[in-house]
Amino acid sequence: MSDATRRPRILDYWRAPTAETVEASAIVAAAVAFVAAALGMLIVGGFEAIPITGWGSVAEVSAFAAAISAAIAFGIGYGVQGLPLNPAYAHRTPTWARWVDALALAFTAAVLVLLLVVGLGALLGDAFRGASLYGITAALLAGAIAAVTSYFTYLVAAGVSASSIATLLAFFLVSGCLGSMLTASDPLWWEKNLSALGTARDASGYAFGITLILGGLVVTALARYIGGELRQWSEERGLDAERGIRTITGGLVLLGIFLACVGVFPVDLFFGVHNTVATGMAVVYLVIVIGLRWFLPGFPNAFLVLGYAFIGIILVSVLMFFPFGYYNLTAVELVAAGLIFSWLIIFIRNISASTTDRRVAEVTRAVEGDPAAAPVHEYEG
């Protein structure tokens, strides 16, 4: 058998970042998760009737099984097939930082899955009050939930990019903060400020703190991925924007560190530190938005104007709080947080859209000249 017809080694096959191998890997991850979660449910609940919600319930076991499966699936997909798609990130990022990013992303995916399954279980528990499932049915349901979540988290990890990380971050922050709001021991927390959620020494307060800490770590990972995509963007245009790119990525890393510190230092225990890092987030955002025109010459003017408009809206909301007193501080914080992360997501989409346009033009030119010369791009999720 010649080298041309020899089947590739199994490791090389699974590491190949093609759509076929990624889908095959995701299916394998889902199958393993299904078996593990189903067996776990049978071990915990046996073959007797198991309640839908509550201690040792179908929802609880399914949530933890799905979260663990999702974390493992994300870690494997990220390490085996995700990193080869991002050589610029892998080459420029120290090993320790890649490990931190991988753990933060995997744990974030796991917590997000946990929150979603717990929330779904609570809804089903309210819809079917007093209902229970037999052991086999519960095991099949737990396995199905773990399989579905593992399948999709593997796909996200295998096609990891700045855009997918930003989407994961947005869903995670919204889910974590909403979960903390809904379970807050003080129903009038909103009369104070958003940071009041982290002052409670209970599950709600800890959930808020963990959400911000993990969110901050994910922002630092996102910053490194954005740096790689910005370098590709500048190289395609023949621009020398390395200094501006470093400033932007450094600012985003600082933004992530400040966000994590907001969770580490509750406002009731570390008032000065908490307010300093919270203010620092706003300052970093202002510097990046205002200086973007000089950091990245040639970036779309429509996006630059959008950034200025967001700053204007934030300033108006601040004025509505002080001196007019129309808004309370919680409303101002929600408006600012929503606009900052919306700006970040749109920023990434503009980078990706510009790169995609270049690739489409490249393929079109190749096809018009020689169809066989058209470039084949690897799987991107």
pLDDT of residue 371: 53
Higher-scoring residue by pLDDT: 378, 236:
236
- Give residue-wise pLDDT tens across range 10-64: 555 555 567 788 898 999 999 999 999 999 999 988 888 888 887 778 889 999 9
Distances 46 to 52, 61, 130, 287 between C-alpha atoms, Å: 14, 12, 19, 58
Q: Cα(142)–Cα(58) distance, rounded to whole angstroms?
A: 7
* CB 37, CB 69: distance < 8 Å: yes
Grade residue 329 by pLDDT with cuts at 50, 70 and 90.
confident
Please state the pTM of the whole predicted model: 0.85
Which amino acid appears at position 104 of this protein?
A
Angle at 250 between CA 245 and CA 255, to 5 degrees: 125
* CB 317, CB 287: distance < 8 Å: no
pLDDT, average across residues 332-337:
91
- Give residue-wise pLDDT tens across range 158-183: 888 888 899 899 999 999 998 889 88
Grade residue 316 by pLDDT with cuts at 50, 70 and 90.
very high
Q: Cα(166)–Cα(48) distance, rounded to whole angstroms?
A: 43
Grade residue 377 by pLDDT with cuts at 50, 70 and 90.
very low
Q: Cα(51)–Cα(55) distance, rounded to whole angstroms?
A: 9
Q: Cα(154)–Cα(77) distance, rounded to whole angstroms?
A: 5
Which amino acid appears at position 350 of this protein?
N
Partners of 51 in the β-ladder = 132
Residue given tokens 């470093």 in the structure block: 246
pLDDT of residue 361: 59
pLDDT of residue 356: 64
Q: Cα(191)–Cα(193) distance, rounded to whole angstroms?
A: 6
Burial group, residue 290, by CB count within 10 angstroms (0-12, 13-18, 19+) = middle
Mean pLDDT of the chain: 86
Do the strands 132-133 and 50-51 form a parallel or antiparallel pair, or are they unpaired? antiparallel
- Give residue-wise pLDDT tens across range 200-244: 888 889 999 999 999 999 999 999 999 888 988 888 777 788 899
